[in-house]
Structure 1
Amino acid sequence: MQHFWLRHEVKEGEGRSPLLPTHAAALIQKGHKVSVERSATRCVADALYEEAGAQLVETGSWVNAPKDAVILGLKELPESNDALVHNHIFFAHCFKGQGGSAELLNRFKSGGGTLWDLEFLTLDNGRRVAAFGRAAGIAGMAVGLLVWAYKQLDPLSVSPCPPLVERFQNYDELATYVKQFLDKAKEKSGKLPTVIVIGALGRCGGGSVDFAEKVGITPTKWDLDETKKGGPFPEILQHDIFVNCIYLMTKIPPFVTSEGIAGPGRVLSVIADVSCDTSNPNNPIPVYNQTTTFLKPTLRATQGDNPLDVIAIDHLPSLVPAESSKEFDDALIEHLLAYPNTPVWTRAKDLFHQKTKEVLG
């Protein structure tokens, strides 16, 4: 039997959970032990875990958890150089050359711990067992539309979007919120935005397209067929909003360039980079170099009469934390119940050792 330890998320604005109380109960019913760190930011109350049979423990106490505990989380660990002695399950973002990859992998190597990266838990056909892609696409489109609307309502503002502090119970509630801003923007500007989605046939892109249509926008949908010739693509510059939803695995020509966005005739004023490969050396949107946050949603890539603003929030589904968590956790739980004795877990563990060897030798 396993001891799963759900840690508190330290990332600002992160309210999702990879384990909801119903799923904790399922693990406990199968004889596993579940410890849950207290969290004031998680999308469900601590008491619901306790009611499900889990043991509540102090925030951040995973570092002193029994060595056989499996530490379960979503986003990055607290910054530290300490060796990692536990087995961890979370989105580590360290297998594709991202910034900080070597340092994190060295912490595992030094402590003898193992990483099962949630991004690389895959079925035999290569499809991920659980993903936030659809939720990310929905939230990315929502924020992109909000930023565009704010820019119509206050075109002289140097900060085109106020802090996004509100969280939504479900996607319908989010759509209602966005629609009211689009209506106000249309009343002032006389139009709705033109939108292009790249990666439109995937889970992420599909969510983005669906949300746009829900609020009355019919986006241009591009996928592999439209991008196979290689960028940059001047067509992107002729839309008001560009939503990037691709899953980047290898280097590809850039979709847009700094030279292109500085040229005459550009319509584009908002990029919502849902893929958010900011620290990836192969980032196909090399017009910015840092992530944004819910408290500061945009950064300005160009000034002038039509300034271009980029959204690069790397945990967009946290805008709708409860519903996105349920979608993800419903898919993950059957694999947690079988941890670590299936090909899903074996492949992920082998990949961890392969990447550690490649990066650290």
Structure 2
Amino acid sequence: MKIGIIREGKNPPDKRVPFTPDQLKVIQQDYTGKLKFFVQSSPLRAFTDQEFLDVGIDVVEDISDCDVLFGVKEVPINQLIEGKTYLFFSHTIKKQPSNRKLLRTILEKRIRLIDYEALKDEEGRRVVAFGRWAGIVGAYNAFWTYGKKTALFDLRRANECKNLHELHRELDKVQLPPIKIILTGTGRVGNGAMEILHSLKIREVSAHDFLHLYFDEPVYVKLSSSDYNRRKSDGGFDKQEFYTFPERYESHFLKYAEAGEMLISGAFWNPDAPRLFALNDIAGEDFQLSVIADVSCDVGGAIPTTISSTTITDPVYDVDRKSGEKIHAFGSQTSISVMAIDNLPCELPREASREFGVQLMKWVIPALMEENSGILEGATIARDGDLTIEFMYLTEFVNQHE
């Protein structure tokens, strides 16, 4: 089986790779005579062409002869090769309008699309993700943003740090007043963000104490869905029902927005679930949030102030509290500063890629050697010009006119 590692074509460029050079060397040795890797030449990767060549991996320009193609972000439509098997984050399973044409083209070109986001174990848990690194960098950027907004301290950008160790050392500069910080998300993203909070030695408090007590030090609360969602009919909460029928619930997040100054949002959001707050809520006198780091970066999603995503080169914009409109970052002391970078792990691309590659080596490479692998079948969105049964719900989305 010939496997190609494609050159990332999305703009702005992504420096991550599915596998590091050393990982490809190990896989190719472990599967001698069964797997052969080819890396498409790229001047932008965190790992250079020469690093792949140094461990005996072929670097080529044309990967059209490969059977399976691994990428990271969405593949530009004009670069899709007909009839191939692709693995990448397609960002289509939530019916994202910006990628409707991508999925339509995949069907037209009879491509088999395996989406990393849909790779799950027997218990239904995702097995490959960059979530931890999104959480780490997203939380770091929340404090970078707070430092810029308040002029209390000045951090280097995460992408200017050589590695995670250097990023943690940079946090020694942080000097915080007794602010209250909200963290949502109990998965990889939330746990990654907690690594930064713990590095800063910020104390975790209960939801009750967060809302009702005064502290003379910075504190944070980690909220789960049950803390800020209530059933419309009787105010109760049932986890399974919430995930199955989120439309039956309404948000009770506003009380936290009135107590906290910073929000680090890392929770998964279902489009049928309630938003945390309404955009017009930010004009209220009691709405205290002034820095929002939307790590999940669902534009038009759970956080209404996420009007658009941001980039590594231009990471923050402000939202005017009265008009709800996007304005220049840090242009007003009273506005809300929003960090919504949609490729956060790119700021620490080498380490993020290494951890991602470990996951692929454990779950995907062995599955490729199986016939009709369950894990790959379950993550196959499209094959032979059709959506698979599990993803038939995307039919109307694909056929919808722009």
- TM-score scaled by structure 1? 0.86
| Distance in 2, Cα, partners of 1:96 & 1:35 | 32
> Hey, what does 1:348 align to over in structure 2?
379
CA distance in 2 between partners of 1:13 and 1:177 (Å)? 26
Report the CA distance between 1:152 and its aligned residue.
1.0
* Amino acid of the structure 2 residue aligned with 1:6: I
How far 1:232 moved relative to its partner? 4.7
User: What is the deviation of 1:149?
Assistant: 0.7
How far apart, in 1, do the equivalents of 2:80 and 2:351 lie? 34
Report the counterpart of residue 8 of structure 1 in structure 2. Answer: 7
Q: Out of 32, 35, 50, which is 1:32 matched to?
A: 35
Letter in 1 for 2:340: A
- State whether residues 146 and 178 of structure 1, in contact with CA within 8 Å, keep that contact through their aligned partners in structure 2: no
Which range is displaced more, 242-251 or 80-89? 80-89
Output the CA distance in 2 between the equivalents of 1:52 and 1:81.
27
Whether the aligned pair in 2 keeps the contact of 1:73 and 1:89 (CA below 8 Å) is yes
Deviations 1:35-66 (A, max 9, x none): 112222222222221233211013xx44xx12
Task: Tell me the matched-pair count.
Answer: 339
Q: Deviations over 1:241-288 (max 9, x none)?
A: 101111123421111221111111332111111111116xxx111223
| Contact 1:89–1:115, Cα closer than 8 Å, also in 2 | yes
**AA at the equivalent of 2:272:** K
Quote the Cα distance in structure 2 between the aligned partners of 1:36 and 1:69: 13
Q: Does 1:206 align with 2:234?
A: no
Q: Deviations over 1:57-94 (max 9, x none)?
A: 13xx44xx12x531111012235496743211000101
Q: Does 1:175 align with 2:168?
A: yes
Q: By how many angstroms is 1:170 displaced?
A: 3.0
**Structure 2 gaps, min length 5:** 204-219, 231-249, 322-331
Unaligned runs of 5+ in 1: 156-160
> What CA distance in whole angstroms lies between the structure 2 residues aligned with 1:310 and 1:118?
27
- After superposition, what is the alpha-carbon deviation per residue over 1:275-328, rounded to whole angstroms, capped at 9, x for unaligned? 11116xxx1112232110011101211255421011111111111111111111
Aligned-pair identity (%)? 26
Deviation at residue 194 of structure 1 after TM alignment: 2.4
- State whether residues 258 and 286 of structure 1, in contact with CA within 8 Å, keep that contact through their aligned partners in structure 2: yes
Q: Does the 8 A contact of 1:24 with 1:54 survive in 2?
A: yes
Instruction: Give the match for residue 51 of structure 1.
Output: 54
Once the two structures are TM-superposed, the CA of residue 169 in structure 1 deviates from its matched residue by 3.6
Question: Are positions 1:197 and 2:217 aligned together?
Answer: no
Partner of 1:158: none
1:41 aligns with 2:44: yes
| Aligned partner letter, 1:227 | Y
State how far apart, in whole Å, the 1-side matches of 2:297 and 2:150 are: 25
Tell whether the 8 Å contact from 1:13 to 1:294 is kept in structure 2 after alignment.
no
- Distance between the aligned counterparts of 2:152 and 2:198, measured in 1? 25
Select the structure of larger CA radius of gyration: 2
Deviates more, 1:269-278 or 1:161-170: 161-170
User: 2:366: which partner in 1?
Assistant: 338
Residue number among 347, 365, 374 corresponding to 1:319 in the alignment? 347
Q: Aligned letter for 2:88?
A: F
Question: How far apart are the structure 2 equivalents of 1:277 and 1:84?
Answer: 30
Assess if the C-alpha contact under 8 Å between 1:164 and 1:294 holds in 2.
no
Once residues 396 and 28 of structure 2 are traced to their aligned partners in structure 1, the CA distance between those partners, rounded to angstroms, is 38
Residue of structure 2 in register with 1:110 after alignment: 108
Indicate the RMSD between aligned Cα atoms, in angstroms: 2.5
Compared CA separation, residues 115 and 259, structure 1 to 2 (3 A): same
Write the letter of the residue equivalent to 1:319. E
Cα separation, partners in 2 of 1:323 and 1:236, compared to 1, 3 Å: same
